[in-house]
Amino acid sequence: MWVLLLVAPLLASLVIVPPALAEPYVGVYLTGVPSSEHDTETDRTVLGATERFTTNDVKFKSSVVYGGLVGYRFLPFLAAEIDVYHLNPGPKAQTQTATGPVTGPLSATIKSGDLDLTILALQVVGSFGLLPNNELPDGQLQLYGGAGLAIVFAGIDTQITTSVTLSLKDRTTEVGPQVKGGARWFFTKNLAAFLEGRFTHAELSFEDTSATVFGPVRLKSESDLNLPLAVVGVSWFFR
């Protein structure tokens, strides 16, 4: 339902927007995320008995972020966008203390690994123009803000060692909100540079049942993804 609500303005614009008003555009950008720490909850199931372990401040690596977007302005102040970006802030090699209600504190060594994230965002973006001129009647400087739905395609590949070594390798798809705001400056009527801040949230859950220790072992790890980004890029408007 959310996807239909967000895509509907774009589809409608293809039919009802006069050619003089319709304005498609594309953009590319590059940024990065610093190293970070996140709390995780991990269920370990052995011989049918499940215990949940809490691990605080699990360390993740920094990562380059790159992406691109396609937009379509269907009103002077409103556009629909499809945005795709990728990053890989995998877990660092580290030793943590995992605490369970039955076992108590347990030393857990996490192997450096991959956390592969590809995010597809569908969003509606409103803009407000400043400094209009003859070439750019909508403004040489444009402020904008948007909100929509982020579909997160995530994969993890790492190992966790307590008394034995267990793998955690899985892929999942989660959905959450994304909001953003920024400004673009037009150097020509077609070419603009933009600076943008955005925030994406999702709840990630990974599960691995490949290990066997006195029977099958199930690992299920959960953590919130809170992803703030400062994005710099360029865009081209087809006018």
Q: What are 167-183's pLDDT values in tens digits?
A: 889 999 999 999 999 99
Q: Give the torsion through C-alpha atoms of 88, 93, 97, 99, to 10 deg.
A: 40
Domain extents in the chain = 2-237
Alpha-carbon distance of 221 to 167, in angstroms, equals 11
- Residues 82 and 70 sit within 8 Å (Cβ to Cβ): yes
- Look up tokens 């199930």; give the residue: 218
CATH architecture of 2-237: Beta Barrel (2.40)
Tell me what pLDDT residue 15 has. Answer: 46
Alpha-carbon distance of 204 to 221, in angstroms, equals 8
Higher pLDDT among residues 48 and 144, named by residue:
144
Q: Which stretch of 5-14, 165-174, 196-205 has the lowest confidence by average pLDDT?
A: 5-14
Alpha-carbon distance of 161 to 158, in angstroms, equals 10
Tokens of 230: 């400062």
Alpha-carbon distance of 214 to 218, in angstroms, equals 12
Q: Give the torsion through C-alpha atoms of 13, 19, 21, 25, to 10 deg.
A: 70
Tell me what pLDDT residue 5 has. Answer: 45
Tell me what pLDDT residue 51 has. Answer: 84
Which residues in 6-62 belong to E strands, given as ranges?
23-33, 36-46, 49-60
- Residues 68 and 81 sit within 8 Å (Cβ to Cβ): no
Tokens of 8: 């509907």
* Other beta carbons less than 10 A from residue 171's beta carbon: 11
Alpha-carbon distance of 46 to 165, in angstroms, equals 14
| C-alpha angle 10-15-19 in degrees, rounded to nearest 5 | 95
Of how many residues is the chain composed? 239
Tell me what pLDDT residue 219 has. Answer: 85
Tens digits of residue pLDDT in 58-81:
999 999 999 999 999 988 899 999
Alpha-carbon distance of 146 to 63, in angstroms, equals 24
Alpha-carbon distance of 93 to 176, in angstroms, equals 28
